[in-house]
Amino acid sequence: MSRLWPHTTYAEEQPYYHSILTTHVLTRAIQSGSLVGAGISSTVFALRNFKILKPRIPSSTLTTTLLRSSGIGAIAGFGLLCVGLPMQMRGKEEIEWRDRSWRLLENQGQLECDDWTYPAMVAGGLAAATQRSVLGWKGVIGGIGAGSVLGMAGYMGWRYGVKGGKREETTV
């Protein structure tokens, strides 16, 4: 998705700077919230299985628990950063928005991470939507969030595992 935005030679000329930065921040909010939600739910699930925590309700499968908690975390992260981004950028000049957006589009690692993240979000959302009757809306949002985390993990495995962190140099 990041490759679809127009990218100028100079940061001062960057169009759609609010949209670029907002899209980036909210995507990372879903990713972070999903990761936190999945971490909490997997811990609670493990504690219940080892009889350390007493379940108040009948427990569901690990997958259902992970996806629902991932969805709640994704919504929480999204909500927090919907408020946090305007607070962080309040009082900033237009050039600061343009510069941050331009730097995101200039960063090849960020573009490559987005190339992995967005398709994985779609795949995760579609996979969870097929089980909507079992998972509900939290599970579908959780599928999107889990997809974003898996996309990021796939990127990191590809770039730093398979490719050894190296990029091909292109000369103009």
Residue 170 CB-density burial (10 A; 0-12 exposed, 13-18 middle, 19+ buried): exposed
| pLDDT above 70 for 1 | no
Yes or no: say if 27 and 117 are a contact pair by the CB < 8 Å rule. yes
Looking up tokens 């579908």, which residue turns up?
140
CA pseudo-torsion sign 139, 141, 147, 152: negative
Q: What is the pLDDT of residues 63-118, one digit of tens each?
A: 888 999 999 999 999 999 999 999 999 999 999 999 999 999 999 999 999 999 99
Give 152 or 135, the one with higher predicted confidence: 152
Residue owning tokens 């930065």: 21
* Range with lowest mean pLDDT among 18-27, 28-37, 117-126, 157-166: 157-166
The alpha helices in the chain, defined as continuous H runs, are 17-49, 62-89, 94-106, 108-129, 132-156
pLDDT tens digits, 23-78 = 999 999 999 999 999 999 999 888 888 888 777 777 688 888 899 999 999 999 99
More confident residue, 168 or 22: 22
The lowest-confidence range among 117-126, 133-142, 153-162 is: 133-142
Q: How far apart are the first and last CA of the chain?
A: 24
Q: What's the pLDDT score for residue 170?
A: 67
Q: What are phi and psi of 90, to 5 degrees?
A: -60, 130
Query: Is the confidence at residue 11, as pLDDT, over 80?
Result: yes
Which of the pair, 157 or 45, is modelled with greater confidence?
157
Burial class (CB in 10 A: 0-12, 13-18, 19+), 159: middle
pLDDT at 172: 60
Contacts of 114 (CB under 8 A, 6+ apart): 1, 2, 3, 27
